[in-house]
Amino acid sequence: MAQIFQIKVELCDIEPPIWRRLLINADTQLEDLHRIIQTAMGWTNSHLHQFIFNKKFYAEPSEWDEDDDRRIDYTDIEICELLKKKKQEMLYEYDFGDSWVHSVILEDILSDNNKQKLPECIAGARRCPPEDCGGSSGYEELLAAIKDSKHEDHHSMMEWLGGKFDPEKFNLTQINKLLHKKNFGCG
């Protein structure tokens, strides 16, 4: 019988936490999981990425130097080949410059009743940081600047953000609409 993985994806080094709880098919390939995470978290798929499990690096072959034998082509690898039991964890790193590291934890293994359209985001909290804001420390500085209208960088940061940014915003319905589109809503 087919299985469903319930995974929790949480952005590391950010407080309060930014996270998503997802239901995915156990045989989801890592390249599709990348797209699912991009959409669920709110990233724009504008940077390199990799998965890290047992000190091995899994990525698209086009994303590394051909002489780098530390990386494994993830093109045909399914998540169930890496995560096999509850509480196992791997990492997903997005944007090697800002280094957004996410923990991906297998929370539960469920039976597939063929009634759900997967993938599906079932819970989460907070909006992901804007692209290219400088990693977790840059994000903290950005939040401080936009929160305080007297901060020296408030105006420039608000302008850079397009006039508004709500770090608490989380729209489950919108995420799921995108996840059900081609390429899981990932451009």
Per residue in 101-114, pLDDT (tens digit) is 999 999 999 988 77
- Order of all β-strands in the sheet with 3-11: 71-73, 56-59, 49-53, 89-94, 100-111, 3-11, 19-25, 120-125
pLDDT for the residue numbered 2: 81
Domain assignments of the chain as residue spans, ordered by start: 3-127+168-185, 129-167
Q: How many angstroms separate the Cα of 139 from the Cα of each of 1, 16, 98, 99, 129?
A: 43, 12, 10, 12, 7
Per residue in 53-69, pLDDT (tens digit) is 999 999 988 756 666 66
Give the dihedral sign, CA 124/130/136/141. negative
* pLDDT, average across residues 146-164: 92
Beta-bridged to residue 19, according to DSSP, are 10, 125
| Structural tokens at position 16 | 């309060």
pLDDT for the residue numbered 91: 98
pTM for this model (two decimals): 0.94
Which of the following CATH numbers is that of domain 3-127+168-185: 3.30.70.60, 3.10.290.30, 1.10.10.60, 3.30.450.40?
3.10.290.30
> Is the per-residue pLDDT at 142 higher than 80?
yes
Per residue in 3-43, pLDDT (tens digit) is 999 999 999 999 999 999 999 999 999 999 999 999 999 99
Q: What is the DSSP letter of 78?
A: B
